Structure 1
Amino acid sequence: MNRKARLALLFFGREGTPLMAWPLYNYDVERHINELINECSTWCVDKCEFIIKKWIKSREDLNEILSRSSEIDGIVIYILTTSINYGLFYDAVRVSGKPTLVLTEPYHSLAWPEIAELVREGYPVVGVSSSSREDRVKGVRVLYTYIMLERKVKVLVVTVPEETSLESLHKHEIYSGDRVYSENYYTRLREFMDLSFVDYTELMNTYLNVGEEDAEEIVDKILKNSYWVKEGIKLEDLIKAAKIYIALKKLLNKYGADALAVNCFTIMLKDLNALPTTPCVAISLLNDDGIPAACEADLSSLLLQVIFKYLAGKPAWISDPVIDFSDGSVTYAHCTAPTKMKGFTEESEPYAIDTHDESGKPAVIRTKMSLGQVITVTQISPDFSKLYLHVNKIADTPIVDLACRTKVKTFVRNVREWLWTYKQPLHRVIVYGDWSYELSMLSKLMKMEILYEPD
């Protein structure tokens, strides 16, 4: 799953003196190509490798590349002049069928109709026109993310025996007005996910074989870095939570899975004591480890967590929005927040150990997120046609006994519209940073429309 993306970097530009094309009659195309070849290794460090770098001047040049299509995962086309051979340009995309990023610079290209035509035809292609190297890097990162999605993430779903298929999930009455999915949703989700379902009793059998010493080591780390533990939470409670974490990692290894979804609420509604404690701590820790993990078997949110792992290098947090007309706020709350919100290799946010809200069971990690931090808030529509998108800042991190434990408060200009036009499903996925630019590109590759939620 983590193998580098193998890319071909193809250059399109005219030859001749005078050039008879933009950007300039005596523009040195070859010199610019050599500069870009030297630069391209910095566009996607440790994630991509450009195994082909070639100026496409003829049909023979393109055929050589197409003959090696099995070696590459995607194509980056760099247009350096106007008046290129558009037949070759079209075939580089149409014949290869590979996800394609088209790069160019202001005054170097007028290929907008051709790029748009390929998008309309349904090819996975997106274009970037910019004088900024940073925009090239963002574009390549988006292409890399889409390639990783195309490889399909292997997902393990821990669930009740009545819900061991994609179509049978979320049949409990509490989800009847929320998780209303279409056949297109199931089809599109399977494009990006390879799903394996296991009965939660297998989790419990694995749990029983986890050693106390291994769990105690995890608990020591949790307690050492926490700033507060709620009165009444015992060491044995945290050991149970750590054993669930270890058991889930063992199951992930057993099934060769890269991501996890736990149908936790349905399991607990079926039998409150089915699990020794909630899997909230385990889900937080797995996300900190770089293993996307979703509560409530929320697979659309899990897909977004996978996306942000590759796009942002950060974990994403599944949350429930809380709307308050009185102060124009939307507060996001849930009990499974990661602590590594700044990045998998960055310092953890401060956190406390609290109880699970709905059941009162110990324990959950209550993460104190950074005030003033810009966040991107997203979700996928139930028919998989739209990507909901909102960008805001964390104004407060309320500590309130009501509702799920980790909370971040934001303010919006028209809070009533948030309620009156709210789109299913309920959950919203939050990641640090403004990723709206990258998501606008990724949505093109994924054949989704961006729907901006009210400011």
Structure 2
Amino acid sequence: MRHDAADLVIQPVLMYSIPRRREGRSWRNWGGVQTDEAVEQEINRISQELKQLCDSAEFGMRSLPVVKATNPQQTAALKDVEADALVVYAAGAWTDTLDALVDLGKPLVVFLRERSGPYYLWHEIIHARFLRSHTDQLSHPRMDVNDVVVDDSNEMLWRLRALYGLKNTIGRRIVCIGGPGGWSCREAPDRARERFQLDMATVPIPQLAAMIKASRKNASLMAECRKEAETYLRPKDVRLVTNEKAVAEAFLLKRLFNDLMTKHDASAITTNGCMGSYAGIMPCLTLTLVNDTGYMAYCESDFVVIPSGILMHFISGKPTYLCNPTYPHDGRMLFAHCTAPRRMDGKNLEPVDVVTHFESDHGAATHVKFRKGQLVTVLKPDFGAKHWLAFTGTVVDTPELPTCRAQIDLKLNADTQDVLANMRGFHCMLAYGDHMRDVAYAAKKVGINVQIL
């Protein structure tokens, strides 16, 4: 489900020191990697562990050979290494060496050993000497306790998954039908560019309308779209409420969206000004279809929330659903829009009623029967691109209220009053599963604080 994603390339670095015995006085720090033989054994251990980690990851990741560092000067050679992140195995050496690695400007995870191999010095000293710099407060400007892992490779894996998601979000190109925008926030596109360097390719609505009108004159193309619609509607868990023509035109628009993404070398698309339709086509079902093929598709061109959707998509490997929130109460919260993906778990299509877009009562949209009991992550970004709210809930219902069609009623795992007190922005982004920790770790790297409830 992660189209056009690039592998995360990691550079492992073994920090160590080889002390010399001095009779009658202290001559070594704590640690079990203090001889040439121990260093070579540790490099072999690290290499084997990283191979297993890369092989087991459900996302693309590869490791470069282990590099040694005993002093700051030896880190200079890493400046031009084509790696996305450093994994520092801090067996020894001193704070100036780790500072030099941090100064390379790449994301950095420190791995410490207590019981998983020879003991590492930095298991003792990293908090007081480095993160707090001999003070009582965490004071390092670029690292904190979340960048340190002890013994557990799975703890390192989720951090690397977060960095993988961030790598594939930064600089991502997205086609913007009608141009980029922001829900009640004109600054949203500029803030998305500033935080994530998103590349927004505008396609004017008249240009798309002309493409639609020309395509309707292509009899063979329209026949193919009608056939695709018939196939889509055939399964027993798909119920048609609108008309087949609207579904066929949704498949026509899907082809045009795919063509535009190919033309602009993009794997994401968003629609602005769509409440008035594009040459008579409401894009709702089309956005569902695009999402279900592993690309990203969002309505309303709202760059307050779209960056969170792209990031969570690449972290989770699943579609993300842009939707409207409602007022939470009694431990529950309703979300709704007309563009929900069906392949929410990244593999299987959920049952669906194919209905009209609610506000226009026109075209084709989805009332997805979200899986009851399913855990869902909710991200709610602020207008200022500084603070995102994250919480989870469990699907308890998919009602049919007079609102946008794809309605998902969640039993909140967070306290209702806490959600009410901390909501910012407007639109939310939803995905199956719990991705709060990964999203928070990645977002912090670009200056966004994620508050987890």
Q: TM-score, normalised by structure 1?
A: 0.83
User: Mapping of 1:198-209 within 5 angstroms?
Assistant: 198-209=203-214
Deviates more, 1:71-80 or 1:103-112: 103-112
Distance 1:3 1:179, change over 3 A: same
Q: How many residues align?
A: 422
Among 161, 184, 206, the alignment partner of 1:141 is 161
Describe the SS at the equivalent of 1:97: coil
Please give the alpha-carbon distance, in whole angstroms, between the structure 2 residues aligned to 1:120 and 1:213. 62
Among 126, 139, 142, the alignment partner of 1:111 is 126
Q: Is the aligned partner of 1:396 residue 2:397? A: yes
Match of 1:387 in 2: 388
Please give the alpha-carbon distance, in whole angstroms, between the structure 1 residues aligned to 2:110 and 2:34. 24
TM-fit CA distance, 1:218: 2.8
Please give the alpha-carbon distance, in whole angstroms, between the structure 2 residues aligned to 1:281 and 1:203. 17
Describe the SS at the equivalent of 2:300: helix
Letter in 2 for 1:279: P
Among 83, 88, 93, the alignment partner of 1:72 is 83
Please give the alpha-carbon distance, in whole angstroms, between the structure 2 residues aligned to 1:258 and 1:389. 25
TM-fit CA distance, 1:401: 3.9
Among 56, 59, 67, the alignment partner of 1:54 is 67
Q: Cα deviations across residues 280-331 of structure 1 (Å, max 9, x unaligned)?
A: 1111111112211111111232212211222111111112122364x44211
Distance 1:149 1:100, change over 3 A: farther
Please give the alpha-carbon distance, in whole angstroms, between the structure 2 residues aligned to 1:273 and 1:300. 22
Match of 1:2 in 2: 5
Distance 1:78 1:16, change over 3 A: same
Distance 1:339 1:23, change over 3 A: farther
Match of 1:37 in 2: 47
TM-fit CA distance, 1:17: 8.2
Match of 1:427 in 2: 427
Please give the alpha-carbon distance, in whole angstroms, between the structure 2 residues aligned to 1:187 and 1:251. 21
Q: Does the CA-based 8 Å contact 2:188-2:302 persist in structure 1?
A: no
Gaps of 5+ in 1: none
Match of 1:291 in 2: 295
Q: Cα deviations across residues 80-129 of structure 1 (Å, max 9, x unaligned)?
A: 35xx22212111120x2222222224573231352467984357996132
Among 215, 227, 241, the alignment partner of 2:250 is 241
Q: Does the CA-based 8 Å contact 1:286-1:292 persist in structure 2?
A: yes
TM-fit CA distance, 1:130: 3.1
CA RMSD, 1 decimal:
3.0
Distance 1:394 1:64, change over 3 A: same
Deviates more, 1:41-50 or 1:387-396: 41-50
Letter in 2 for 1:8: Q
Distance 1:158 1:183, change over 3 A: closer
Match of 1:360 in 2: 361
Q: Does the CA-based 8 Å contact 1:128-1:135 persist in structure 2?
A: no
Distance 1:43 1:213, change over 3 A: farther
Please give the alpha-carbon distance, in whole angstroms, between the structure 1 residues aligned to 2:189 and 2:222. 45
User: Mapping of 1:301-340 within 5 angstroms?
Assistant: 301-323=305-327, 325=329, 327-340=330-343
Q: Cα deviations across residues 250-283 of structure 1 (Å, max 9, x unaligned)?
A: 11111222211101xx343xxx354322111111
Any runs of at least 4 consecutive aligned residues in structure 1 with deviations exceeding 6 A, and if so which? 116-119
Letter in 2 for 1:223: L
Please give the alpha-carbon distance, in whole angstroms, between the structure 2 residues aligned to 1:63 and 1:2. 29
User: Mapping of 1:13-24 within 5 angstroms?
Assistant: 13-16=16-19, 20-23=28-31
Distance 1:318 1:140, change over 3 A: same
Q: Is the aligned partner of 1:192 residue 2:201? A: no
Match of 1:85 in 2: 94
Distance 1:366 1:443, change over 3 A: same
Letter in 2 for 1:197: T
Please give the alpha-carbon distance, in whole angstroms, between the structure 2 residues aligned to 1:310 and 1:433. 13
Please give the alpha-carbon distance, in whole angstroms, between the structure 2 residues aligned to 1:422 and 1:97. 32
Letter in 1 for 2:222: E
Letter in 2 for 1:40: L
Please give the alpha-carbon distance, in whole angstroms, between the structure 1 residues aligned to 2:345 and 2:337. 18
Describe the SS at the equivalent of 1:300: coil
Gaps of 5+ in 2: 22-26, 216-220
Letter in 2 for 1:227: D
Q: Does the CA-based 8 Å contact 2:33-2:91 persist in structure 1?
A: no
Please give the alpha-carbon distance, in whole angstroms, between the structure 1 residues aligned to 2:281 and 2:236. 19
Please give the alpha-carbon distance, in whole angstroms, between the structure 1 residues aligned to 2:113 and 2:376. 29
Describe the SS at the equivalent of 1:450: strand
Please give the alpha-carbon distance, in whole angstroms, between the structure 1 residues aligned to 2:271 and 2:144. 32
Q: TM-score, normalised by structure 2?
A: 0.83
TM-fit CA distance, 1:135: 0.9
Percent identity among equivalent residues? 19
Q: Cα deviations across residues 367-395 of structure 1 (Å, max 9, x unaligned)?
A: 21111111111022211111211122112
Q: Cα deviations across residues 118-163 of structure 1 (Å, max 9, x unaligned)?
A: 984357996132332211111111222222233x00011101xxxx
Letter in 1 for 2:450: I
Q: Does the CA-based 8 Å contact 1:6-1:50 persist in structure 2?
A: yes
Match of 2:174 in 1: 155
Please give the alpha-carbon distance, in whole angstroms, between the structure 2 residues aligned to 1:116 and 1:157. 45
Q: Cα deviations across residues 155-193 of structure 1 (Å, max 9, x unaligned)?
A: 11101xxxx4x5xx35xxxx5xx436479735524x430
Letter in 2 for 1:156: V
